[in-house]
Structure 1
Amino acid sequence: MAQFIAHANLLATAWKNGAGSTTEIAVFPRGAGFDDFDWRISLASIARSGAFSVFPGIDRSLCLVSGEGVTLTLDGARRVALNAASPLIRFPGEAAVHADVAALTTDFNVMTRRSRCSHQFERLAAPAELARRGQTTLLFVADGAGVVARGGGQQFKLGRFDALLLDAGDATHWSLDADGGASVFVTDLIT
């Protein structure tokens, strides 16, 4: 059954190094920690430059949501600038990643344990039609005034940074309506 996740009800956790914070949106299994999740989706706020945590066996997608941007250096060699024109990167959790920021950024973060599942990430401009690709799908409103998601006789109104978690029992086709447009991140989790 679809689960509405209001951003206003989520709590941010400060990083140990003080360089930012993470707001967990959803994790499976519910209540799992960093060592035993199958998948985890969160928002990360990066307040100052520094190293990312290393997550062996994890595949990651990171997409800029707000802020001027962040430059990531992977394994000391590959440099990738995330900005409004190019907001997304996929990388292995084993990579040594250093983030350089000039000002606060917020990033949407998907992590899946390679041995248990995978994920597909898509950015839609609402209004749009959505055909789910996995048994579990998370919709996240990245910007805009809000989105009305309709599918299988259900309807949900999502504001900015709200999410909707859909499971195998939910409809496979959804319509996403938005007055004035909105960006919706769609993450399909495949087991």
Structure 2
Amino acid sequence: MQARVIRNHDLIRVPWKNGGGTTAEVAAFPEGATFETFGWRVSMADVASDGPFSLFPGIDRTLIVVEGDGIELDVEGIAYTLDSASPKLSFSGDDITTGHLLSGPIRDLNVMTRCGRFRHRTRFVESGVALLAEETTVAFLVPLDGPFDVTLDSTIHSLEALDTLMLDAMQELILLSGTGRAVLIELMPDHS
């Protein structure tokens, strides 16, 4: 089992697909894939103004607000408020989506998987023990509120808020110690 720490301060910002902002890729498969060729992609975006989201045909998306007061997403005419009480929304990259900031800029965590190749699930975890789903091939842990220590095979990986720990598939228990919440992302093949 392999684990790799990806530091938030090392992420490289690139323009959004529609040119309306910037995103920092945490990881993508295959490595070096473009917006049109990735099987899955995990990224963080800084949203500083209202506007349309890029279309990603054939992609399932989950967006999680990780900093800031929140955003209202209009997805095909239906409004969803993402804030500290309800920070997560899953939707199709085919859907026409626009964002309206609630009060100032936000940072969000994006998980995208190409339909027919991969699927994903996200959940919030706190200190304790986590176990990945059997079909998970790769997972990511992103602390939101403060430092987290992740113990794997007696090795401790120390993370600051918004750092990422990338894990190869495993069925061992993951020991988590930290303050506040973290996001656990699991990626698996799509056999549908």
TM-score, shorter chain, exceeding 0.5: yes
- Quickly say closer, same or farther: Cα 1:44–1:20, change in 2 above 3 A: same
Alignment of 1:1-191 (within 5 A): 1-15=2-16, 19-75=20-76, 77-101=77-101, 102-125=103-126, 127-133=127-133, 134-144=136-146, 146-168=147-169, 170=170, 172-178=172-178, 181-191=179-189
Q: Which runs of 4+ in 1 moved over 3 A?
A: 14-19
CA distance in 2, matches of 1:71, 1:19: 17
Residues 65 and 106, structure 2, Cα contact 8 Å, conserved in 1: yes
Cα distance in 2 for residues equivalent to 1:43 and 1:118: 19
Alpha-carbon shift at residue 18 of structure 1 (Å): 5.9
User: What TM-score comes out, normalization by structure 2 length?
Assistant: 0.91
**Structure 1 SS opposite 2:9:** helix
Q: What is the CA-CA distance between 1:16 and the residue it aligns to? A: 6.7
Provide, for residues 95-147 of structure 1, a one-character-per-residue CA deviation record: whole Å limited to 9, x for no partner.
0000011410111100000110100100112x121101112111111222x01
Shift of the 16–2 alpha-carbon distance from structure 1 to 2, 3 Å rule, reads closer
TM-score, normalization by structure 1:
0.92
From the superposition, tell whether residues 21 and 91 of structure 1 become closer, same or farther in structure 2 (CA, over 3 Å): same
Q: Which stretches in structure 2 are left out of the alignment for 5+ residues?
A: none
Of residues 60-69 and 15-24 in structure 1, the stretch that sits farther from structure 2 once superposed is 15-24
CA distance in 2, matches of 1:68, 1:157: 27
Structure 1, gaps ≥5 residues long: none
CA distance in 2, matches of 1:162, 1:63: 15
Count of aligned positions: 185
How much is the aligned-residue C-alpha RMSD, in angstroms? 1.4
Q: Which SS does the other structure have where 1:8 is aligned? A: helix
* SS class of match (1:143): coil
Post-superposition shift, 1:154? Answer: 2.4
Deviates more, 1:32-41 or 1:13-22: 13-22
Give the whole-Å Cα distance in 1 for the aligned partners of 2:16 and 2:40: 20
| Letter aligned with residue 184 of structure 1 | A
Displacement of 1:3 in angstroms is 1.0
TM superposition shift of 1:19: 4.1
